[in-house]
Amino acid sequence: MNKENIEVIVIGGGHAGCEAAAAAARMGVKTLLITQDKAKIGEMSCNPAIGGIGKGHLVKEIDALDGLMGLVADEAGIQFRLLNRSRGAAVRGPRCQADRKIYREAMQKAIASQRGLTVLSGTVASFVSENKGPIKGVCLENGETILAQAIILTTGTFLNGVIHMGDKTIAAGRVGEPPSVSLANDLRRFNLSMGRLKTGTPPRLDGKTINWDILEKQLGDERPEMFSEYNSKPSNRQVECRVTYTNKEIHK
């Protein structure tokens, strides 16, 4: 890879980073996607579902703009449902449960096949700029400097990230991966206000420990609606979900 010809650098290989990098490359500019671990591109670290109320519209819009998520979700979907089907079209929400492994592999394949897009494993430590002037590139933790005309920041939960597990708080971008502390500190020199958002991730349960017979069965749609206009039916065998509910004892 000739790093002297890079025009756009995208920092972070999550959902937003993949879309931003692919979109830039489709526009004909030489794009570099920098992420901590190439093998984690497309990782579904929270609830392995795409879409839902409000969010399903966004996936449809991404597909209309020739994006990746709708195509990849259709390829990885194992149950499709249109939420709020009985209501008006404006509030309906397409959603699919996705196979995490298939989704990750499909997104990595899409990124690898995008012409003009290169992926680099690394961690960005700081920006290249003079006297808080325009940002001209990035410095990696290994000391390497890469210049570009534009930098797109899609770091997700990694900027100075922490994880709360019960009474424990650990520094992490997500489970098993370090946070981006140096880059977060460097952003402060540009007088950018930093905030923190919180998300909750449900626990993973061993299916062998669950009494499935007492749970409410939830089937997918008989005629699934795909996210992408290019697809008409699911690629995988469809599975059922089971539903349970909390009670007053749980909320104590």
Strands of the 8-11 sheet, one edge to the other: 117-121, 31-35, 8-11, 150-153
Q: Report the distance separating Cα 151 and Cα 10, nearest Å.
A: 6
Q: Is residue 16 within a helix (H) or strand (E), and if so which, with residue range?
A: helix 15-26
Write the pLDDT tens digit of every residue in 72-131. Answer: 999 999 999 999 999 988 899 999 999 999 999 999 999 999 999 999 999 999 999 987
163-190 residues labelled b (16+ CB within 10 A) or e (exposed): beeeeeeeebbbeebebbbebbebbeee
Largest CA distance in the chain: 65
Residue range 202-213, pLDDT digits in tens: 788 899 999 999
The pTM (predicted TM-score) of the whole model is 0.91
Contact criterion met (CB below 8 Å) for 37 and 123: no
Segment 228-251 mean pLDDT:
92
Average pLDDT, the chain: 92
Q: How many Å apart are CA 205 and CA 153, to the nearest integer?
A: 34
Q: Does domain 3-205+220-241 sit in CATH 3.50.50.60?
A: yes
